[in-house]
Amino acid sequence: MTARTLGRVIGRLILGLAAFSAVFPMFWTTLNAFKNRVDIVTPTPLFIFEPTLDNFAYVLGRESVFAGLVNSLLISGTSVLIGAILGLPAAYAIARYPNRWSRDIQFFVLSLRFLPPVAIAIPLMVIWLDFGLYDTRLSMIVTYSLLTLATIIWLSVPAFARVPKEVEEAARVDGYGPYAVFFRVALPIALRSLIGAVAFAFVLVWNEFLIALMLTTSDAKTLPIVASELTQLGRDVPWGILNASVVLLSIPPLLFIGVLSGMLNSAFKRKTQ
């Protein structure tokens, strides 16, 4: 019995360490974002210091960071909207009206995830250059719509499949047409899982790096690109500013953590019943 308790204590210790490792790096980065440079470049890490808002003021006041923020919001927002408007109905059709192509369509959508991003980005770079659309928000939105559409379809098919068939049948008996069943029954019932799918797509394109790096040079640069350029600065590295820009970049995805964890829970709930 004592061996069991000992094992449990060690297990809890390991879990505690893992949880610490999960949150401490970001916590430390946030602390550094409020430090003056002299408090960061110390031989011993400092936990107590005089906080400053200079780093955030500098980052938010910089035109490149502000432009990156606007680009990121516009590009991610629009491509997620396109992905949702086209992807949700498509996912519903796959889930509810299976035909002989359904499996092939699902496999095709999944196989888009196999494509190495660099294999898409190189030809797209040439294509957008030829069209004169290279380094524009429009070309980025179109490119990202490929990612959002595939992701939203892939994650929404199971969400629609979980809507009880009986509810839809009942609505049909009440005289609802197929479109009314989708908009007024299936969509509201599956809404929670669908929001998770859409949030996941948003986080995916907000965090996307390689394609943005290759398809933008100045006008349409997204926030990850701007932040990574700051991290490549030379000798007198403005560490405080770097930490502040990383914190800024990480806030939007972290806001969705509750939604995404809810999606995980509902995805695994069905199997227990």
Positions in 146-165 near another protein (CB under 8 A): 146, 149-150, 153
Sequence-ordered list of residues with C-beta below 8 angstroms from that of 222, at least 6 positions apart, any chain: 68, 71, 72, 75, 76, 140, 208, 212, 216
CA 7 – CA 170 distance, rounded (Å): 53
Cα–Cα distances in Å, from 222 out to 65, 159, 208, 237? 9, 31, 9, 22
Report, in Å, the least distance between residue 79 CB and another protein.
Answer: 11
Q: Which is nearer to another protein, 191 or 261 (CB)?
A: 261
Planar angle of CA 92, 93, 98, nearest 5 degrees = 120
272 binds another protein (CB under 8 A): yes
Cβ proximity to another protein, 22 vs 48, nearer residue: 22
Among 157, 197, 242, 244, binds another protein (CB under 8 A): 242
Q: Which of 116, 132, 164, 175 binds another protein (CB under 8 A)?
A: 116
Sequence letter at residue 4:
R
- Asked whether position 167 contacts another protein by CB under 8 A, the answer is no
Say whether 257 sits in a helix, a strand or coil.
helix
Given candidates 38, 57, 113, 167, which one binds another protein under the rule CB under 8 A? 113
State the Cα–Cα distance between residues 34 and 160, nearest whole angstrom. 45
Residues 4-63 that bind another protein (CB under 8 A): 4, 7-8, 11-12, 14-15, 18-19, 21-23, 25-26, 28-29, 32, 40-45
Least distance from C-beta 244 to another protein, angstroms?
11
> At its nearest, how many Å lie between another protein and the CB of residue 223?
8
